[in-house]
């Protein structure tokens, strides 16, 4: 990675610190407060929106390193709405609509660059275009789903920040050494450093929470980066695996809640990480660090077997997912005894 980029890594770290410090000290005046309830994992009213420094880092680096405009415009648009949501309650329908609009904006380059075969007769359906538009729909669901998964998983001290450091660090390694896009490599390193700057304000005791402006932005940018860096299905699975613990926990929890007849829009604390921190009483930072370590181990292992092929990667991810399901079921079953 170019030597002069280290200056921007340092600036990103400082911006992560500055954003968290500012909200810690002025969040109450700005009405950026998270009041605990029976579904919360904290018991003290705490400022939220500390991820604003991560947003500033993202916009600053995107403009400086020529990140595609549709990428940073869509992400910035969604982050601003999320910051608004940190100040006042927004309806789920409004939030979801804004997220899909942002995802479609991000995907505009893919939609407009769809190849149209020249040998098609005028009355022949354009199969290539139809498949591509369907793929864009699938990718928009992936992007919006990842943004929400990241937000839902931001429920205990340190978990969103540590996951951001590891996940974007792995994406940076992948982007740089696969030679796909050096600007995205720089952006992802800077996002990792911004998360690192935020962390001391959130762990071990939370002075400030990241808020939607940070967590939704991180999930959205992570998923968008996966899409932009992927040149094949193998690339996609490898890059997406860098957020594996969040996907695994959210999917298994979703299945449990559907099975139990829960209303999915209702707040809850049934994720595995919440059970470990609340019902089992394990300190937040220990649970968060455990998720980060498993994320790093899984990500590195996927990188090591990538050259074997896509089947090896898929089987490895299925194995990890089965292990997670087994652990989740054992822990949940023990709580019922």
Boundaries of every domain in the chain: 5-115+127-336
The half-sphere exposure of 291 on its side-chain side, counting CA atoms within 13 A, is: 34
pLDDT at 139: 94
Question: Which candidate, 15, 71, 12, places its Cα nearest to that of 220?
Answer: 71
Token duo for residue 183? 């600007």
pLDDT reported for residue 117: 42
What is the band of 262 on the pLDDT scale with cuts at 50, 70, 90?
confident
pLDDT for residue 113: 57
- The 10s digit of each residue's pLDDT in 266-283 is 777 889 999 999 889 899
Overall average pLDDT of the 293-305 stretch: 97
pLDDT of residue 38: 63
How many Cα atoms occupy the beta-carbon half-sphere of 131 within 13 Å? 5
CA 248/CA 319 separation, integer angstroms: 12
Percent of the chain with pLDDT over 90: 68
- Is the pLDDT assigned to residue 202 strictly greater than 90? yes
Give per-residue pLDDT as tens, 49-102: 999 999 999 999 999 998 999 999 999 999 999 999 888 888 889 999 999 999
Tokens of 48: 């939220």
* Average pLDDT over the chain, rounded to an integer: 88
Give per-residue pLDDT as tens, 112-151. Answer: 654 444 443 444 344 344 447 788 899 999 999 999 999 9
**Rounded Cα distance, 310 and 33, in Å:** 45
Q: Using 50, 70 and 90 to split pLDDT, how confident is the model at 252? A: very high
Q: What is the pLDDT of residue 112?
A: 63
The stretch 193-200 carries a mean pLDDT of: 97
CB-CB contact of 131 with 114 (8 Å): no
Cβ pair 13, 165 in contact under 8 A = no
Question: In sequence order, what are the residues at sequence separation of 6 or more whose Cβ sits closer than 8 angstroms to the Cβ of residue 321?
Answer: 248
Give, for 34, the enclosing helix (H) or strand (E).
Answer: strand 33-34
**Percent of the chain scored above 70 by pLDDT?**
91
Does the bond joining 204 to the residue before it have cis omega, within 30 degrees of 0? yes
pLDDT digits over 21-48, tens only?
Answer: 999 999 888 888 888 766 666 778 889 9
Q: Are 218 and 150 in contact (CB under 8 A)?
A: yes
d(CA 234, CA 108): 23
Work out the burial of residue 59: count CB atoms within 10 Å of its CB; fewer than 13 is exposed, 13-18 middle, 19 or more buried: middle
Q: What is the 3-state secondary structure (H, E, C) of 151-182?
A: HHHCCCCCHHHHHHHHHHHHHHHHHHHCCCCH
């Amino acid at each position: 990675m170019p030597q002069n980029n280290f200056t921007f890594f340092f600036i990103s770290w400082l911006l992560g610190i500055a954003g968290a410090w500012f909200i810690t000290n002025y969040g109450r005046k700005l009405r950026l407060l998270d009041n605990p309830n029976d579904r919360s994992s904290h018991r003290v009213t705490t400022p939220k929106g500390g991820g604003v420094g991560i947003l500033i880092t993202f916009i600053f680096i995107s403009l400086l390193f020529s990140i595609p405009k549709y990428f940073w415009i869509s992400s910035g648009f969604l982050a601003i709405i999320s910051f608004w949501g940190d100040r006042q309650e927004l309806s789920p329908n409004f939030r979801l609509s804004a997220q899909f609009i942002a995802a479609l904006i991000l995907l505009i380059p893919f939609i407009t660059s769809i190849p149209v075969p020249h040998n098609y007769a005028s009355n022949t359906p354009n199969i290539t275009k139809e498949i591509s538009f369907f793929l864009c729909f699938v990718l928009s669901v992936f992007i919006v789903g990842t943004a929400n998964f990241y937000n839902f998983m931001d429920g205990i001290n340190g978990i969103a920040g540590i996951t951001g450091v590891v996940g974007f660090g792995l994406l940076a390694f992948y982007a740089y050494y696969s030679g796909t896009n050096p600007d995205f490599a720089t952006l992802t390193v800077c996002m990792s450093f911004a998360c690192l700057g935020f962390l001391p304000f959130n762990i071990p005791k939370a002075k400030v929470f990241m808020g939607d402006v940070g967590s939704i932005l991180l999930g959205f940018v992570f998923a968008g980066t996966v899409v932009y860096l992927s040149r094949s299905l193998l690339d996609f699975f490898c890059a997406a695996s860098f957020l594996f613990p969040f996907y695994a926990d959210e999917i298994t929890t979703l299945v449990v809640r559907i099975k139990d007849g829960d209303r999915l829009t209702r707040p809850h604390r049934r994720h595995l990480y919440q059970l470990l921190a609340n019902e089992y009483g394990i300190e937040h930072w220990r649970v968060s660090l455990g998720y980060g370590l498993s994320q790093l181990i899984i990500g590195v292992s996927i990188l090591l077997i990538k050259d074997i092929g896509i089947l090896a990667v898929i089987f490895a991810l299925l194995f990890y997912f089965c292990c997670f399901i087994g652990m989740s079921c054992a822990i949940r079953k023990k709580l019922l005894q």
